[in-house]
Amino acid sequence: MNEEKRDQWEVDRRFVNIEWNIMLGNGAFGKVYQGNIPAAKLPSKLIESVFQVSELKKNGENVAVKMLHESADRSTVLSFLDEIELMKELGYHERLVNLLACVTQSEPRMLIVELCSKGDLLQYMTHRRDYMTRLGEGESPDYSLVITHKQQFIFAVQIASGLEYISHRGFIHRDIAARNILVQGNDSLKIGDFGMCRKVQEEQGMYLSRGGRFPIKWMAPEAIKDYEASSASDVWSYGVLLFEIVTLGGSPYAGWNIAEIPLRLERGERMERPDECTDEMHEIMESCWMFNPRDRPDFTELRMQVGRALEKMDDDNYYLQLDGRKEYYLVDNEKKERNDETTC
């Protein structure tokens, strides 16, 4: 790694206070805790960024700190360091969970990023869906717990904006899903979890993966079959994310056997239009799921299309009438966790 480049982001661990009782996430390779770092102690690279220092101060100087499990092997450590380096190269955007600092010169190594206080979008939507399905007819709703069609389009345009930036920087995310979108205190969204993000070859615009565990329900057919990932395969995943947004966290491909997904997609089958999905949103989702990657829109086109649809929406008081008996709401959570990934 480039030592000089790394030092620009390095911070003395003495200034990183970990709230060990506030765990934000726990995965196969590491854990994420809430922490605190004084803005004055940010690395020199960050002090130049008015936007990020301002964001940190708005969060009361609280941050999210990702660390590996103590049992992490050398391969996992190297992947973690690669993720840190990638986030440095990716740069700042308001729709990304941005790097603030890192600790790489001593153990435990730390990836320090912006804190999004309301957690991930999947849990955020599921909580509100549970409330909305219980809402009785004629009952006055608590609008802080209701997601409207207009809010869904706001979510969609914010995510498209972040993905447009990622693609223009020459990267692909490869794990676009509601669980990896984080919610700020003002209910706006940021794209997170860059562990699978990769730089693509300029001449091909494509990254060939080498196998491993992948979120198959969010993957494009060419990524499943040939391990070919590109900005166009991210577009397919974005379409699946739109399905999650429309259903407020419903399970994609409910009722489909995961082993059958590639063949059924190749035959032209797609998920049925969910309840309460507007014509505009359904049209956008279907365009993301064109079988030929070249036929899919890019993220600039998607951002503009979602934006135009959003401009036409003026009734923000209309709330969704959800049918909690739909199959995509009845998938057992534990079973869903096991079935959403497969080894390729």
Q: Is there a binding annotation on residue 243? A: no
**Quick check: helix, strand or coil at residue 65?**
strand
Q: Is there a binding annotation on residue 309? A: no
Q: Is there a binding annotation on residue 25? A: yes
Q: Is there a binding annotation on residue 250? A: no
Q: Is there a binding annotation on residue 101? A: no
Phi-psi region of 227 (alpha: psi -120 to 50; beta: other; left: phi over 0): left
Q: Is there a binding annotation on residue 29? A: yes
Element of type H or E holding 32: strand 30-36
Q: Is there a binding annotation on residue 66? A: yes
Question: What are the beta bridge partners of residue 182?
Answer: 120, 190
Q: Is there a binding annotation on residue 187? A: no
**Separation of alpha carbons 5 and 112, rounded Å:** 16
Q: Is there a binding annotation on residue 217? A: no
Q: Is 12 assigned a catalytic role?
A: no
Contact assessment for residue 145 and residue 131, using Cβ atoms and an 8 Å cutoff: yes
Q: Is there a binding annotation on residue 205? A: no
Question: What are the beta bridge partners of residue 16?
Answer: none
Please pick, among 82, 175, 279, 340, the residue that the annotation labels catalytic: 175
Picking from 175, 168, 170, the residue whose alpha carbon sits closest to that of residue 191 is 175
How remote is the C-alpha of 102 from its chain's centroid?
Answer: 21
**Separation of alpha carbons 284 and 297, rounded Å:** 9
**Separation of alpha carbons 227 and 207, rounded Å:** 8
Q: Is there a binding annotation on residue 31? A: yes
Q: Is there a binding annotation on residue 30? A: yes
Q: Is there a binding annotation on residue 192? A: no
> Residue 157, Cβ neighbours under 10 Å: how many?
20
Give the angle subtended at the CA of 20 by the CAs of 128 and 77, to the nearest 5°: 95
List, by residue number, the catalytic residues. 175
Return binding residues. Answer: 25-32, 66, 114-120, 179-180, 193
Return binding residues for ATP. Answer: 25-32, 66, 114-120, 179
Return binding residues for Mg(2+). Answer: 180, 193
